[in-house]
Amino acid sequence: MVYLEAKVLSKLPHGSFYNVEYKNLVTEGEDPQPLVETISADEIRPMPPKLSQPSMFSLHDKVDAFDLDAWWFGGITGQEGDTYSVYFPTTNDVCKYPLQRLRRHLEFVNVVSKSNMNNHRRAKVKPF
């Protein structure tokens, strides 16, 4: 799984689709602009809550690692000082990351859309 940070620009009038503007992805060319795409509602997740950064992780902890402008889901497989080895099940790769490029992985459960004046989406989150 990969998570890209984006801002919802608008909901399209037909179906469950949204225009989003990515924070870290840009268009190609001489004057790069933030990339805007249309995605389905089931691809949108709320931003994870601000949690205190752990001072360390343990073997088999589930984490997200920031790499290539996105957060990638993986698990801790080893540690050398402040550097952690992370296994990525989607690619079967193991890469090393400093602590500051890792965060606890959270699963979103019971996601509920609320229709009101502000069109908020709410979700319960739990550490995985």
Mind listing the pLDDT tens digit for each residue in 86-116? 999 999 999 999 999 999 998 877 654 443 3
CB 33 within 8 A of CB 22: no
pLDDT(119) > 60: no
Count other C-beta atoms under 10 Å from residue 97's C-beta. 19
Q: What do you get for the CA distance between the two ends of the chain, in Å?
A: 14
Count other C-beta atoms under 10 Å from residue 17's C-beta. 15
Q: Give the pLDDT band (50/70/90) at residue 57.
A: very high
* Residue with the two structure tokens 């979700």: 123
Enter the DSSP assignment of 115: -
Burial class (CB in 10 A: 0-12, 13-18, 19+), 23: middle
pLDDT(55) > 80: yes
Write down all domains in the chain, each with its CATH number in brackets: 1-44 (no CATH), 52-128 (2.30.30.140)
Q: What's the pLDDT score for residue 110?
A: 65
Q: What is the pLDDT of residues 65-85, one digit of tens each?
A: 999 889 999 999 999 999 999
* Residue with the two structure tokens 């795409």: 37
